Amino acid sequence: MLVIVFIRLIDIAEWTFRSSKSQFVSGKVGIVRFSAGSIVTALGWASFCVLFIEDLIMVEYATTVMIISSIAGGSPTVLAASRNLSIIFSTLLMIPLSTVSLLATEQYQNYLGLLGFVFYTIMVASSLKVSSFTREALRVKNQNIQLRNEVANKGNLVSTVNVELENATTKLNDINQDLELEVKKRTEKIFQLSNVDSLTGLKNRKAFTAQLDVLIEKAVSNGSPVALLFIDLDGFKKINDTMGHQIGDRTLIEVANRLAAFSDLERTGRWGGDEFLVALPYSDQTTAMSIASAMMTSVAQPIHVSGNELYLTASIGIALAPVHSLNAEDLIQLADLTMCEQKQSAQRKPRIFSTELKSKIEASQMILEGLQHALERKELYLCYQPIQCAKENTSWAFEALLRWNFNGKFIGPDVFIPLAEKSGLIKEIGTWVLNRACMDAKHWQFNQTAAVSVNVSVIQLMDDGFIRTLDNILRSSGLPPERLHLEITESTFVDNEKKIRAQLEQIQNRNIHVSIDDFGTGYSSLSQLQTLPVNYVKIDKAFVDNIEGKGEAIIRATLFIARELHCKTVAEGVETKEQAMALSAMGVDFLQGYYFAKPMKNEDLIVWQNPISSFSD
């Protein structure tokens, strides 16, 4: 038994050592080794009982029973982890001892043998119970370990994920920062695109209007006015047309810089084309006027672009907030209208919006509204003024002049024609005039050869549908084309010369004659006149009025030019016999004016008799 115990101690020591060194030891091998040790121990005791119990004296027998019972008593607890081993161990210890004791000769041994069986039964029962407890406890323990491991694993996973999350967050922050930077850059770019005029770098319409609203608000709160200057260049179009857009663009940039020097970029804007806006905070009328005058002088200084020396002038209209308006858009409109007034006037100095101008604008608006319904309300009608042949004093043509009876008040064409041109109404009105004039002329029984001379606005002439309209009217009225003359004002030839020439050629192809009206008042260059297909030149009334003075030289010069260009001449505004005689003597072909007749209605014209028998004597 000592040998067995010794071997088992070595076995346990080796087992513990290897386990402590965390070398791999299979659990199953350990169980087999431990079970084998236990069974061999039990077999040792069983053999001892079977072989020697007969020869034992009472003390030895009692000691043996005590030792075996004690070992067996401890086995349900010690071997509780394995129910089978515990039962086998108890069986091997108790059954041989109890059986041998029961079969022994001594009666006390028989009793102890019997008690041995009872003890064995209790042992087995408690083995079953204890082992089931222990197994459950082990199962729970293992489960716990497993759970702890799982929790530990999950914990590791969570920390790995956390680290990854932290990395991702850092990355995201970096990306966000880049993105914010990009968004900022793009926002700035969008701001530039939507608020800044790409050519000049000044504020565009939208941005300037918004800025002006802010300045007006400030002006109201601090009680000092803000002046708005509307600047329009005179003659810029000519630079653009004759020198090309590149030079035009560089000229605009130079002008923009000159204007910005009087305020700053924030308060300077480009309204479009050659129109600029400058806002001047803390400026009353006097300050605004002197700054605007200085601007005019600055713009008038020579501009050097690509080796060219260019000269420009500017027209400036001024409106002030809060006196004239509290709204940026209104203020701009008022300054614009004031600028237009300034441009039309001969004075070369800035103009400030005034109440008179306001009533003028309101009156224009009223007239324009009335004009929109003038045709349908049949308020428009034509008058005809004879144009006499200078030599024979016979009626060569009759000029159709438009009249408007607006609510019983006569409004002159000088007032409403420019408004009709600006609003585009001229196309509709002009078509009506052409149609009416051709219809009337067709029915002039008193003179079947005289032409009707119709004033045509350049806006009508430039319209792509004009030639078609002309054809339609000639067809429907039945008037021969050679009995229709068109009068086009000289000043309008300046712009769009190419298109005008093309249209005039088409008109000439139809045998319709063309007059240049108000010759000498506009800006036509002689070279332009040379190339334009026209038949007559109408000398303006201003020169006829002044025939005793410088007018004569101008008329003679005009007659010379007209002759060179193979054009005939008409003198307008002939009011006296002397004028008629002088003009006729100079060689003017046709005469028109109050001396012969004032413009009259068609029904009066039919019965009109020329009161002048002769003026040549």
Report the interface residues with ligand C2E, using CB under 6 A: 385, 401-402, 412-414, 417, 430, 433, 455-457, 487, 489, 517-518, 572-575, 592-594, 599
As a dihedral over the C-alpha atoms of residue 91, residue 96, residue 99, residue 101, rounded to 10 degrees, the angle is -120
Q: Which does 412 bind (CB under 5 to 8 A by kind): ligand C2E, Mg ion, none?
A: ligand C2E
Q: Which does 226 bind (CB under 5 to 8 A by kind): ligand C2E, Mg ion, none?
A: none
331/544 with CB nearer Mg ion: 544
Pairing mode, strands 590-591 and 568-571: parallel
Do residues 399 and 455 touch, judged by C-beta distance below 8 A?
yes
Q: Which does 402 bind (CB under 5 to 8 A by kind): Mg ion, ligand C2E, none?
A: ligand C2E
Shortest CA distance to 490 belongs to which of 455, 452, 466, 465? 455
- Min dist CB 250 to Mg ion, Å, is 39
Q: Which does 38 bind (CB under 5 to 8 A by kind): Mg ion, ligand C2E, none?
A: none
Do residues 501 and 471 touch, judged by C-beta distance below 8 A?
no
87/387 with CB nearer ligand C2E: 387
Q: Which does 232 bind (CB under 5 to 8 A by kind): Mg ion, ligand C2E, none?
A: none
Phi and psi, residue 525, nearest 5°: -85, 150
- Min dist CB 414 to ligand C2E, Å, is 5
- Min dist CB 435 to ligand C2E, Å, is 11
402/504 with CB nearer ligand C2E: 402
133/381 with CB nearer ligand C2E: 381
- Min dist CB 530 to Mg ion, Å, is 21
Residue 463 DSSP one-character state: S
Handedness of CA 351, 355, 360, 363 (dihedral sign): positive
Phi and psi, residue 164, nearest 5°: -60, -40
Residue nearest Mg ion by beta-carbon distance? 487
DSSP element (H, E) containing 167: helix 107-195
337/433 with CB nearer Mg ion: 433
Handedness of CA 140, 146, 152, 154 (dihedral sign): negative
Q: Which does 385 bind (CB under 5 to 8 A by kind): ligand C2E, Mg ion, none?
A: ligand C2E
Q: How far is CA 41 from its chain centroid?
A: 99
Binding site for Mg ion (CB under 5 A): 455, 487, 517-518, 572
487/589 with CB nearer Mg ion: 487
- Min dist CB 538 to ligand C2E, Å, is 7
255/454 with CB nearer ligand C2E: 454
320/417 with CB nearer ligand C2E: 417
Nearest-angstrom CA–CA distance, 501 and 533: 7
- Min dist CB 492 to ligand C2E, Å, is 10
Q: Which does 371 bind (CB under 5 to 8 A by kind): Mg ion, ligand C2E, none?
A: none
- Min dist CB 375 to ligand C2E, Å, is 12
83/513 with CB nearer ligand C2E: 513
- Min dist CB 476 to ligand C2E, Å, is 19
- Min dist CB 209 to ligand C2E, Å, is 35
Q: Which does 217 bind (CB under 5 to 8 A by kind): ligand C2E, Mg ion, none?
A: none
Nearest-angstrom CA–CA distance, 587 and 555: 10
Nearest-angstrom CA–CA distance, 239 and 229: 23
Q: Which does 599 bind (CB under 5 to 8 A by kind): Mg ion, ligand C2E, none?
A: ligand C2E
Nearest-angstrom CA–CA distance, 15 and 72: 24
Nearest-angstrom CA–CA distance, 583 and 591: 8
Ramachandran region, residue 408 (left: φ > 0; alpha: ψ -120 to 50; beta: rest) = left
522: three-class secondary structure by DSSP: coil
Do residues 437 and 444 touch, judged by C-beta distance below 8 A?
no
Q: Which does 401 bind (CB under 5 to 8 A by kind): ligand C2E, Mg ion, none?
A: ligand C2E
255/380 with CB nearer ligand C2E: 380
Pairing mode, strands 536-539 and 513-519: parallel
> CA separation (Å) from 148 to 144, 161, 577?
6, 19, 130
